[in-house]
Amino acid sequence: MAEAARETAENGGAVWLLLQEKLLGNQFSCVAGKTAWRRETVVHRHYGPMTEEATTVALYGDVCDFAERKDAIDPLLASFISTFQASRDVTEVEFERLVWKQLQSLHDLDATRFAWSSLVDADPISDRFGFSVAEHPFFVVGMHPNSSRLTRRFPYPTLVFNSHVQFKRLKERGMYQRIQREVRARELTLQGSINPNLADFGEASEAAQYSGRAVSADWLCPFHPHPPGRTWSRRCRQERLP
């Protein structure tokens, strides 16, 4: 959709051009991301440093807006890419800390307006965990300059928000599985291995995948969901992702 591409170009400038080079280049294995960029269904915003209050407020408003109109952009392959101004010598551990501090700050705002999405769990230990903004479930992909995964390297700290609802539609059409096989084959060609934390939804918590750092089996996610009202239940409402 041309509208999304225009928004990207107008708000990113030079960063938008770097994104284009990255997503269409040989060191990026996600074929769905490549397709979305070519379709012009990627929305991009560039912000100040991660976790700052002004950044969080602006990012939250933009992700809420994207959650509302993602299907108008594209019902299958719409992505929101947020890039941030920051030092380029951030380590993997430091980036992981920033990712979860930023997501926690987003949730702190979101919890004052919305419940957690009924399609995923809020508990980061759960194998059905997914991040939620405006009651919409997202899978978050982190990128930064010093990622050990080549496909996740980008000159600016980056968070990509992909819709779990759109993932479900791709699965129902038999497309998700083909995309997954192609991505993993490209990862093997590019780096000789796939990310050791990769797992399908429902097999293990996807929280371990967000920052891109290979974490140990005893890693604890530093995210703390707000209880809905006065009580907190791990179980969500009846509608569930497969």
pLDDT digits (tens, 9 = 90+) for 97-141: 999 999 999 999 999 999 999 999 999 999 999 999 999 999 999
What does residue 237 show for φ and ψ, rounded to 5 degrees? Answer: -70, 180
pLDDT digits (tens, 9 = 90+) for 29-56: 999 999 999 999 999 999 999 999 999 9
Cβ atoms of 29 and 190 closer than 8 Å:
yes
Sheet with 158-163, strands from edge to edge, namely 42-47, 79-84, 158-163, 136-143, 131-133
